Amino acid sequence: MTGNNDQFETSTVIIPTVTPHDPPVSRNAFGRCAMSIIIPAHNEEAVLGRCLRDLLNGARQGELDIIVVCNGCTDQTAEVARSFGRSVRVLETSIPSKITALNMGDRAARVFPRFYVDADVVLTIGALRNTAAALRAGMFLAAAPEVEWNLRHSNCFVRAFYAVWQLQPYFDAGRLGAGVYALSEAGHARLGEFPQITADDEYVRRLFLPEERVTVTENTFQVTPPRTLRDLIKIKTRSRRGNLELVQKFPHLSRPARESRWKFLARIAVRPWLWLSSLVYFAVVAQTSVRARRTLKRGGAAVWERDLSSRVNVASESKDLLRS
């Protein structure tokens, strides 16, 4: 996912400012955009072009209010975003923080529903429209398309992990996160500002009851997991640390997991072809749990465990965008 170091702010007030090169967002026939999309991006030149291209493919003029928030970038992330011209607004801050970027984008966004999208996912206009429609219907406050894992370049150990991981009851319904989630105006009112935490997607998910959030199964968005077990352990350590931090800071949001745990184990038990894969899964869980607790105990801001392996194949696409 979009990777950066979340730095905890003290008394500094960040005022998002659109650079002079950023054009105003065009309007559709009804005089307004249909939805806002906030993309926090820290050194994402390798994948941002693919993300924006797929979002805009088939979109009507003025339909999307896309805001890319470049935070602490030392590469050409902002230049890639600006290469899309009037279709994308670009904000920049020197602070390498996803949370700072999310809040900057929120203050600049103009309409609801509001999407929060990681720069490394593949999301189509059809998925955006159907998810937005689910929120406009008024029955749900939060929504996301169904996630699809692109394991084409992952090794056998990573594939084994995800084969078991996807059996969790967490995926059954109303799942948010993994790189994309959206809020209605009423849902956003409950959120307010993002607090300084690591697991923003899990925090948002826990703000809503299961009946208040929905997974839109008509469409999927694509996430590319790490290639190697080593890279997998890095990102899962950070994810687990974020969940532990969330329980510490917001204990009232924690959910009892005993029933889900037994259901998860039962699903593995009736799938003997996954028993060997489950050994990989539980080994990763054990190691990342130890590492996450150790880093949390040491204190300080979380270090973003960036997975570079999943970005290798698309780096040349963004370079082509900059040359064109």
Q: Which pLDDT score, from 0 to 100, does residue 27 have?
A: 44
Distance, CA of 296 to CA of 225 (rounded, Å): 24
**Angle ∠(278,279,284) on CA atoms, nearest 5:** 95
Q: Is the pTM of this model over 0.85?
A: no
Tokens of 70: 């470049």
129 vs 49, 125, 220, 297, CA distance in Å?
21, 6, 12, 43
238 vs 11, 47, 169, 256, 294, CA distance in Å?
26, 21, 21, 21, 11
pLDDT tens, per residue, the chain with 324 residues: 444 444 333 222 333 333 333 443 334 433 467 999 999 999 999 999 999 999 999 999 999 999 999 999 999 999 999 999 999 999 999 999 999 999 999 999 989 999 999 999 999 999 999 999 999 999 999 999 999 999 999 999 999 999 999 998 877 766 777 899 999 999 999 999 999 998 999 999 999 998 999 999 888 999 999 999 999 999 999 999 999 999 899 988 876 566 688 899 999 999 999 999 999 999 999 999 999 999 888 875 554 455 666 655 555 455 555 555
Q: Which pLDDT score, from 0 to 100, does residue 9 have?
A: 36
Tokens of 293: 């607790």
Q: How many angstroms separate the first and last alpha carbons of the chain?
A: 26
Q: Which pLDDT score, from 0 to 100, does residue 16 have?
A: 37
- The answer to whether residues 119 and 40 touch, using CB atoms and an 8 Å cutoff, is yes
81 vs 66, 86, 173, CA distance in Å?
10, 10, 33
**Angle ∠(56,57,60) on CA atoms, nearest 5:** 70
